[in-house]
Structure 1
Amino acid sequence: MRTSRKWALPMLVSLGFLMVAVFMYLVLSKRATPVVGLILVPVAFGLIAGAGTDIGDMIVGGVESLAPTAALLFFAIIFFGIMIDVGLFDPLVRLILRLVRDDPARLVVGTAVLAMIVSLDGDGSTTFIITTSALLPLYLKLKVSPVVLTVVTGLSNATMNIIPWGGPTVRAASALGLSPSEVFVPMIPSLVVGLLIVLAFAFHLGVMERRRIGRLVWSAERIPARVGSGGSGSSGSAGTGDDSTAGAETGGFIDGLDPNRASLRPRLLPFNAMLTVVLLVVLVLDVLPIPVLFMIAAGIALAVNFPRVTDQSAAIVRHSSSIVSVVAMVFAAAVLTGVFQGTGMVEAMALWLTGVIPDALGPFLAVITGVLSIPMTFFMTNDAFYFGVLPVLAETAAQYGVEPVEMARASITGQPVHMQSPLVPAILLLVTLAGVHLADHHRKVLWRAVAVSLAMLVTGVLVGQIPFG
């Protein structure tokens, strides 16, 4: 760029915020798909910022940085798709069905609990694949909105994301030279409060869906029965309702998990369960890179469950639509990431934000950092925030007696919002698998995610782990 540094900084700050605003407007208003928005908007703003032909190198750099993520999602979809095909999750679906008893409220709360448990592996993609695969058929059968599924699953996983092996806690600790345990352990009360609020949101959404579906049933069944003559019509209507319930209880609801499908491998259930457990254990132990683990696991699953080459090819093709959609969005997100970093917009935005904080607010920098983490981790990657912004804020806060570990704890409270960002490939996977538009997901999830983040921040202050003044 040929502009002077004096006014290049405010220009980059303005372009950065405007680029994000334009992208969000196009996606939320459904004027562009996330893939189109993630590609064209950054390219346009990168050229305006003076990137010129260097924009190609910026985008390639972004693609290279996200290539491992694309590989992870590619083979994770194949692996868990195979596990679904061969029947590993069928018993879990039947168990949840018995507990739900055709009650949307129970279903939604059960979704939150399942997502929280699976999130213990620290990987959002795994959580979303398992939860969606197991429960989406139930949502469709009971006519519960799939948006509720993405909202509750996304919130549950995002709140659990502060566990030490989940990513942000390790980044915050590494950036400030701390131990992940001294950052996370004191924040357990905040985590518990966040999870309780997520369960409350899940119950409320479930009750609202129960009422909505009840009105639909009344309109579809009760009114036509009353129009007919005599009690026979009413009896027939009641019979229809009973048949529907009975069908659900017997397991005939599993549209996507046909109990008689040819891909079932009941004799290999112990092997497939053990393979999945070993995969998750090794994943937590961090022995090998996660993409490599899923490559190996997918190869083993294909070879053992489908020895014939034609069956292996068919197994991959069955999940090709999900693979193409998700991987395309990952590489499209790489365009935004590459332009953000290559043009210096991220650095400029970080410097601007730290520069506008008055000296009088210095003692409150921990809480300010927690509040800033909500929008900043939504609009930029965790790496950019924790390695670029947090050290600057922590250095400034140290002048006012705020310890680095306290800054680190405050910085992770924005994760419930961060995980809803279109820059996070896992959330793109979730909405794709559930068949939900990202805009519909954001309308219901963002304000709830903000509420969870603020509650975690306030709890940290109340228990004395995050200083306030």
Structure 2
Amino acid sequence: MAWLGFAMVITFMALIISKRLSAVTALILIPIAFGLASGAGPELGGMVMEGVQQVAPTALMLMFAILYFAIMFDAGLFEPAVRRILRYVGNDPLRVVLGTALLSSVISFDGDGATTVLIVTTAFLPLYLRLGMNPLILALMLLLTNTVVNIIPWGGPVARAASALHLDVSEIFLGLVPAMFAGLAYAFIVAVWIGRKERRRLGWTPMAKDTVSEELPLPLIESATQNPRLFWVNLALTAALMYAMGTGLAPLPLVMMVGFSLALLINYPRLADQKARIAAHSDSVLTVIALIFASGVFTGILSGTGMVDGMSARIVQMIPDGGGQYFSIITALVALPLNFLLSNDAFFFGILPVLGAAGAEYGIDPMHIARASVLGQPVHALSPLVAAVYLISGIIQRDMGEMQRYCLLWAIGSSLTLIATAIVTRAII
């Protein structure tokens, strides 16, 4: 089962990166083929449905979140912010990239990656398009900042690690604070480097840094759909939505469903206008939702057939005996490829308990194993099993494989920065 699982994941990755299959067809057909090969044919239906049920809340939340922020974008809520940011950054690519990283860092503190992606792309993508900048830079800045800030206690990775090893989530986080700041410093250093390269590519000069060329494209929002008179109403609704999401007032899918309904009713009370706005964004919504449900097929079969259990056991067997005293570092390094190949649930609940038990045999504190396990998140953010990857690639209209090739080395550098800082501060020793 271990080797069958590895073969399935590798086959899947090879096919989508080489563009021989689309992500949605590969996520469905590859695991079914390997599931049949494993002899689990009669049980595949149950495994698939269980996997789909697990991703259903995420799919619901993303569907209505995309529609909500699309409506707010159409209504012109973000246009004043875009204009202010544009005036601040001028047409300086360096300042645009730094601004992207800063906004993403701040918004990421809500602990929800999808929200960060939607807000940052809505605010900054028009700037990138107007200035002729590479939209993949926007994706990279999102990745390098959001994955680092997401180490916060209410973020998914730390919460999963604490649950898997029955540890205090705040204690895990406190030990990783220096690593988090180092990861953010790395992100802004990368922003400066790439921003300067964009300056040279676009031929930007300081002489024009405070002006925006009149030759740049017009705003991407159709004037007919904007409701400037409702700006403060929309802003208040969005603030209330963010408050509800941050405080856990209600389940996220419900929050986004109610928010979407109110936004649609307030801004476009006529039924014909409501249908037009939904239809205008149906393509992007359908693409993302189809991919999320397809990923449920993949993870459901991977877990249900026992491939995850076999893979985790095989990995532990591969660790040399002499490496026991460095087991937390080994865990951090192993987490990089595993976080890319597996979903967070598969890794934290399937493999991490095995790694924690193995580390205990070597006298390693489970707290160090838990901290080490979350340091591969920058690499995990590029996994084809992460919904946000498809969301970003759909919004910036770039192929997922192209985005992975552009961001992967920078993501590995971010993870290695986190690991090195954690070692220096003895968070994982």
Settle same-fold status: TM greater than 0.5. yes
Deviation (angstroms), 1:155: 2.1
1:256 and 2:220 aligned: yes
Given that residues 288 and 391 in structure 2 are in contact (C-alpha distance below 8 angstroms), is that contact kept between their aligned partners in structure 1? yes
- The equivalent residue for 2:329 is 367
Match of 2:214 among 247, 269, 273: 247
Q: Partner amino acid for 1:348?
A: G
Q: What does 1:35-74 correspond to in 2, within 5 Å?
A: 35-74=24-63
Aligned to 1:246, what secondary structure does the other structure show? coil
Given that residues 379 and 408 in structure 2 are in contact (C-alpha distance below 8 angstroms), is that contact kept between their aligned partners in structure 1? yes
Aligned to 1:307, what secondary structure does the other structure show? coil
Q: Partner amino acid for 1:37?
A: A
Distance 1:254 1:415, change over 3 A: farther
Deviation (angstroms), 1:121: 1.3
Given that residues 114 and 131 in structure 1 are in contact (C-alpha distance below 8 angstroms), is that contact kept between their aligned partners in structure 2? yes
1:436 and 2:398 aligned: yes
CA distance in 1, matches of 2:163, 2:348: 9
Match of 1:339 among 301, 306, 325: 301
Deviation (angstroms), 1:452: 0.7
Deviations 1:83-116 (A, max 9, x none): 1112211122112211221122221221111111
CA distance in 1, matches of 2:12, 2:404: 13
Deviations 1:428-451 (A, max 9, x none): 101111001011111111111111
Deviation (angstroms), 1:254: 4.5
In the superposition, the TM-score normalised over structure 2's length comes to 0.95
Match of 1:291 among 247, 253, 256: 253
Given that residues 143 and 411 in structure 2 are in contact (C-alpha distance below 8 angstroms), is that contact kept between their aligned partners in structure 1? no
- The equivalent residue for 1:280 is 242
Given that residues 373 and 413 in structure 1 are in contact (C-alpha distance below 8 angstroms), is that contact kept between their aligned partners in structure 2? yes
Given that residues 105 and 209 in structure 1 are in contact (C-alpha distance below 8 angstroms), is that contact kept between their aligned partners in structure 2? yes
Deviations 1:364-402 (A, max 9, x none): 111111111111121111112112211221122223332
- The equivalent residue for 1:463 is 425
- The equivalent residue for 2:195 is 206
1:454 and 2:416 aligned: yes
Given that residues 165 and 284 in structure 1 are in contact (C-alpha distance below 8 angstroms), is that contact kept between their aligned partners in structure 2? no
CA distance in 2, matches of 1:47, 1:400: 38
- The equivalent residue for 1:127 is 116
CA distance in 2, matches of 1:207, 1:187: 30
Deviation (angstroms), 1:277: 1.6
Aligned to 2:161, what secondary structure does the other structure show? helix
Match of 1:179 among 168, 175, 179: 168
CA distance in 2, matches of 1:420, 1:54: 30
- The equivalent residue for 2:21 is 32
CA distance in 2, matches of 1:86, 1:460: 45
Given that residues 378 and 418 in structure 1 are in contact (C-alpha distance below 8 angstroms), is that contact kept between their aligned partners in structure 2? yes
Match of 1:390 among 347, 352, 375: 352
Q: Unmatched 5+ residue regions in structure 2?
A: none
Aligned to 2:214, what secondary structure does the other structure show? helix
CA distance in 2, matches of 1:363, 1:277: 49
1:316 and 2:278 aligned: yes
**May I ask how many residue pairs the two structures share in their alignment?**
427
In the superposition, the TM-score normalised over structure 1's length comes to 0.87
1:23 and 2:20 aligned: no
Percent of aligned pairs with the same residue?
43
Given that residues 367 and 410 in structure 1 are in contact (C-alpha distance below 8 angstroms), is that contact kept between their aligned partners in structure 2? yes
- The equivalent residue for 2:317 is 355
Deviation (angstroms), 1:246: 3.2
CA distance in 2, matches of 1:385, 1:122: 19
Q: Partner amino acid for 2:33?
A: A
**Greater mean deviation of Cα atoms: 423-432 or 263-272:** 263-272
Q: Partner amino acid for 1:144?
A: M
1:102 and 2:69 aligned: no
CA root-mean-square deviation: 2.0
Deviation (angstroms), 1:255: 3.7
